[in-house]
C-alpha cells in the first residue's frame, strides 16, 4: 500500500513489515505528509499479528533519508505557528516509531542526514551499508534541535560524540558510526538487504512476547527513575511466563527441536 501520495510504501513480506521512504528523486527527503503517514503505517503493522518485526528503508541506492524536504521550509517551517505544527507532527512520528510494540530495524544505505538520523535513532537497531554517510547539519543551517532528538542520540553514542556530531555538522562514515555506537553493524552494500533479512528473520522466529517485553523494559530504563512504569514492565514479564509460547519453548528445548511461537 502507498501513503502520502505514493511517497511512503508499506508492504508485508512474511513476518517482516517494510516501511519504505519513497522519494528517491530527493534522496528520500521527508515531507510533512510523510511524517504524517508514519504513525498510521506503524499502527497498522502493530495490529497485524502476522508481522513480527518492522524494517525501515529508503527507496533506491543513494539514501536512507537525506533529511527534511527543504522545498517545504517556506510553507511549513517559516512562521512560528507552522513550525510548531511541523515539529509536533515529526515528534508524533518519532514517538510512534520508538514505542511501537514490535522491534524495528533501520536499513541504512547512502545518506542518513538530519531527520534521517532522527528516524534511525528512533529504531531499535541500525544496520548500515559500508557506503552510508551520517550527519546532523543543524549548525550549518541555523536550526535549533529539540531535546528529544538530542536525548536519543546521547543515549546511543554518549555526550562527547553527540557534541561532535552537532558541533561539526560534518558527515561521518559508516566505520566512524560503528565505532561510536551509532549503528549496530556494517555490511557491504551488496549484502545489506540479505543481512538485514537474516537478522529480521532471526528476531521474528523468537518469542514475540519476550521480545516486546525487552523493548518495553529497555525503554523504561532510559527514562528518569521517577517516570518509569515498572508495574507495566512486570505485567509484560508475567505475561511471558503465563503464555503458551513459554510452554512451547520449554517443550521444544526438551525435544531438541526449534520452537514455533505464536505470540500468545
CATH of the domain at 181: 3.90.226.10
Contact present, 107 and 196 (Cβ < 8 Å): yes
**Backbone angles phi and psi of 55, in degrees to 5:** -115, 135
Which of helix, strand or coil describes residue 57? Answer: strand
Looking at the structure, do residues 108 and 186 belong to the same domain, yes or no? yes
Using alpha carbons, list the distances in angstroms from residue 78 to 38, 69, 137, 162. 23, 13, 18, 27
Q: Are residues 72 and 185 in the same domain?
A: yes
Interatomic CA distance for residues 4 and 40, integer angstroms: 11
Identify whether 51 is part of a domain.
yes
- Asked whether residue 197 falls in the same domain as residue 216, the answer is no
Residues 248 and 199 in one domain: no
Q: How many angstroms separate the CA atoms of 200 and 30, rounded? A: 25
Q: Give the three cell numbers for residue 86.
A: 511541523
Residue 262 lies in a domain: no
| Residue 180 in grid coordinates | 561510536
- The parent domain of residue 179 ranges over 2-204
The pLDDT tens digits along the chain (264 residues) read 999 899 999 999 999 999 999 999 999 999 999 999 999 999 999 999 999 999 999 999 999 999 987 766 656 556 677 778 888 899 999 999 999 999 999 999 999 999 999 999 999 999 999 999 999 999 998 888 889 999 999 999 999 999 999 999 999 999 999 999 999 999 999 999 999 999 999 999 999 999 999 999 999 999 999 999 999 999 999 999 999 999 999 999 999 999 999 999
Parallel/antiparallel/unpaired status of strands 172-173 and 133-135:
antiparallel
Cell of 119: 528516524
Residues sharing a CB contact under 8 Å with residue 194, sequence separation 6 or more, in sequence order: none
Residue 135 lies in a domain: yes
Closest CA to 115 of 223, 215, 24, 32: 32
Report pLDDT for 68. 84
Q: Are 110 and 146 in contact (CB under 8 A)?
A: no
Q: Does 181 reside within a domain?
A: yes
Strand partners, 134: 112, 172
Domain count, the chain: 2
Q: What is the pLDDT of residue 236?
A: 96
Indicate the pTM of the whole model: 0.94
Residue 216 shares a structural domain with residue 100: no
Amino acid at each position: 500500500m502507498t501513503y502520502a501520495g505514493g511517497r511512503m510504501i508499506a508492504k508485508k513480506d512474511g513476518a517482516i513489515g517494510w516501511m519504505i521512504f519513497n522519494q528517491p528523486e530527493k534522496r528520500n527527503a521527508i515531507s510533512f505528509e510523510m511524517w504524517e503517514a508514519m504513525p498510521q503505517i506503524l499502527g497498522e503493522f502493530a495490529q497485524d499479528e502476522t508481522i513480527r518485526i518492522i524494517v525501515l528503508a529508503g527507496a533506491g541506492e543513494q539514501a536512507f533519508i537525506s533529511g527534511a524536504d527543504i522545498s517545504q521550509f517556506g510553507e511549513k517551517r517559516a512562521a512560528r505557528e507552522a513550525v510548531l505544527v511541523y515539529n509536533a507532527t515529526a515528534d508524533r512520528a518519532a514517538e510512534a516509531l520508538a514505542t511501537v510494540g514490535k522491534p524495528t530495524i533501520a536499513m541504512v544505505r547512502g545518506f542518513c542526514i538530519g531527520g534521517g538520523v532522527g528516524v534511525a535513532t528512533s529504531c531499535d537497531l541500525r544496520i548500515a551499508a559500508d557506503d552510508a554517510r551520517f550527519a546532523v547539519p543543524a549548525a550549518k543551517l541555523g536550526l535549533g534541535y529539540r531535546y528529544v532528538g538530542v536525548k536519543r542520540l546521547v543515549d546511543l553514542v554518549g555526550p562527547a560524540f553527540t557534541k561532535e556530531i552537532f558541533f561539526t555538522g560534518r558527515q561521518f562514515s559508516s566505520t566512524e558510526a560503528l565505532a561510536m555506537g551509532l549503528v549496530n553493524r556494517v555490511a557491504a552494500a551488496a549484502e545489506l538487504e540479505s543481512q538485514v533479512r537474516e537478522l529480521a528473520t532471526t528476531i521474528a522466529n523468537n518469542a514475540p512476547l519476550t521480545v516486546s517485553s525487552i523493548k518495553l523494559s529497555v525503554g523504561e530504563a532510559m527514562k528518569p527513575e521517577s517516570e518509569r512504569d515498572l508495574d507495566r514492565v512486570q505485567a509484560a514479564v508475567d505475561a511471558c511466563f503465563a503464555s503458551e509460547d513459554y510452554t512451547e519453548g520449554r517443550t521444544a528445548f526438551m525435544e531438541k527441536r526449534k520452537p514455533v511461537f505464536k505470540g500468545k
